[in-house]
Structure 1
Amino acid sequence: MNTLQGVKIMLVDDEPHILQFLELGLQQEGCEIMLAEDGFTALTLAEPFQPHLIILDIMMPGMDGMEVCRQLRDSACNAAIIMLTARDEVDDRVRGLLTGADDYMAKPFSFEELLARITARIRNQFPGLLEEAMIGPFRVDDRKRQITYHGNVLALSPTEYDLLKLLISRHGSVLSKSSILNRVWDYDFGGQDNIVEVYIRSLREKLGDKEHTVIRTLRGAGYRLDLP
């Protein structure tokens, strides 16, 4: 399962390295991506692509993001729009929101924060799209905050649910303890990273993973969930 499986996102920015960075990260989340390096291209592609969400840079040559946003709304585009800018100016934020944007982020930004904002917008504007996903022997149901494994519902605490969902969404990839702490707990968490070990041990018990073949430990690197 990818956390944004099935979500269609259009990226509009005149900086190729930002497009590449966002495209790679969002594809790993399961998104279908369409790229546009200028406003005219974005307007041309939006109707046939029908994105759920548009990440739109304000400062672009030719047609800026404000005008693109205005024309998208005039064309009855119902995609959520998150605007990006290199300036964190109150006037820009207000103008963008009044033009029809749903959210606003200033560069540089954290990918994790952008991901959280995307998820929030999708849940708000397209309820049901992210509620349930299946991968291998797992089924994740966000409505019930419930994970099923080989047909059996796992008795998980809220934190265990968040941790296992993260591991499933990143299956095949190694997650460091610090990365897990940042995503499952928060950046201000003051505890020791051995709390991750405690929760991993608990999840293994509930999965019957005595041989650690489902949740693997990679010494010095972190943990990886493997699927058959």
Structure 2
Amino acid sequence: MGKCVLIVEDEKNIVDILRFNLEREGYQTLEAYDGSTGLQLARAKNPDLILLDLMLPRMNGFDVCRALREGGCSIPVIMLTAREEETDKVLGLELGADDYITKPFSMRELLARVKANIRRTEMLTVRSAAPAAGPQLIRRGRIVIDTDAMTACKDDRPLDLTQREYELLKYLASQPGKVFSREALMEHVWNYEGYVGDVRAVDVAVRRLREKVEDDPAQPQFIITRRGLGYLFSEE
């Protein structure tokens, strides 16, 4: 049975185009034309991914995303927005969206992002179901990452990380001192092969991660910025 994508979008012509292209790629689809119905369908049907428009009747995309994440739902969410304001995109990511794509969008790019986010979730599910051969730990000073349990601790206290934040922390900490560009992180953490495009999602994820990991996010000790180059996990 094909993976299921929930489309929450109030413009019928966009829904029809998305449904046609997704079904042609082997996906099943569900459709909602307002935010309230979209939230109900997401909770009732548990789709594999949600394409969520921002400007919706009855309940906007920001509120839908917030309600899903506050309820513990980890379904990948890609926000669809006609807005160019960067603050809207950042807000969506900070509320827990996995990515965004701006209208008018390339169908090829959208399908690639759908595939990458579903694949990432599948990889995490397989990894968590695999029998453990004993704890596999990455120790970086006060930070300890258990790659079997997919958890991280600081000073022996568990960190409350999203899946994306955990993956980002693990990837950086697995190669301390090495600088990774935002494009490289989009490719290896977000699973977007050969990524070229907006990398704001990386900056937002790093900022959120620092708020949970650093003693003072404004003066980071673990996740360091190399201006014009990218990010690294400190070897110190």
> Shorter-chain TM-score: what band?
0.5 to 0.7
Whole-angstrom distance in 2 between the partners of 1:128 and 1:78: 12
The alpha carbon displacement at 1:88 in A equals 2.0
**1:28 maps onto 2:24 in alignment:** yes
- Alpha-carbon distance between aligned partners in 2 of 1:12 and 1:125, rounded to the nearest angstrom: 20
Query: Which of 39, 42, 53 lines up with 2:38 in the alignment?
Result: 42
Name structure 2 gaps, 5 residues minimum.
Answer: 126-193, 195-236
Q: What residue number does 2:61 align with? A: 65
Instruction: Provide the residue aligned with 1:112 in structure 2.
Output: 108
Structure-2 residue corresponding to 1:215: none
Q: Give the number of the structure whose alpha-carbon radius of gyration is greater.
A: 1
Whichever residue aligns with residue 49 of structure 1, its letter is K
SS in 2 for 1:126: helix
User: SS where residue 68 of structure 1 aligns?
Assistant: helix
* TM-score (normalised: structure 1): 0.53
Q: Work out which of the residue numbers 10, 35, 39 in structure 2 matches 1:14.
A: 10
- State the distance in 1 between where 2:28 and 2:6 align: 8
Taking the TM superposition and a 5 Å limit, the aligned residue runs for 1:52-91 are: 52-91=48-87
Instruction: Give the TM-score, by structure 2 length.
Output: 0.51
SS in 1 for 2:5: strand
**Closer, same or farther in 2 for the Cα pair 1:128/1:25, shift >3 Å?**
farther
Code of the aligned partner of 1:86: A
Q: SS of the counterpart of 1:25?
A: helix
Q: Whole-Å Cα distance in 2 between the matches of residues 128 and 94 of structure 1?
A: 25
Higher relative contact order (CA 8 A, sep 6+): 1
Deviation at 1:126? 1.9
**Deviation readout 1:101-137 (Å, 9 max, x if unpaired):** 00011100000000111111111122289xxxxxxxx
Counterpart secondary structure, 1:127: helix
Runs of 4+ in 1 over 3 A off after TM superposition: none
What pairs with 1:172-191 in structure 2 (closer than 5 Å)? none
The count of residues paired between Structure 1 and Structure 2 equals 127
Distance 2:28 2:76 in 1: 15
Specify every segment of 5 or more residues in structure 1 that has no aligned partner in the other structure, as ranges.
130-185, 187-228
RMSD, matched Cα: 1.9
Shift of 1:44: 1.2
How big is the shift at 1:11? 0.1
Alignment of 1:199-214 (within 5 A): none
Distance 1:75 1:58 in 2: 19
Rounded to whole Å, the distance in 2 between the matches of 1:117 and 1:99 is 19
> How far does the alpha carbon of each residue in 1:144-200 deviate from its partner, in whole angstroms, 9 at most, with x for none?
xxxxxxxxxxxxxxxxxxxxxxxxxxxxxxxxxxxxxxxxxx9xxxxxxxxxxxxxx
Which amino acid counterpart does residue 15 of structure 2 have in structure 1? L
Aligned counterparts, 1:108-187, within 5 A: 108-127=104-123
CA distance in 2, matches of 1:45, 1:55: 12
Aligned-pair CA distance for 1:48: 2.2
Identity of aligned residues (%): 47
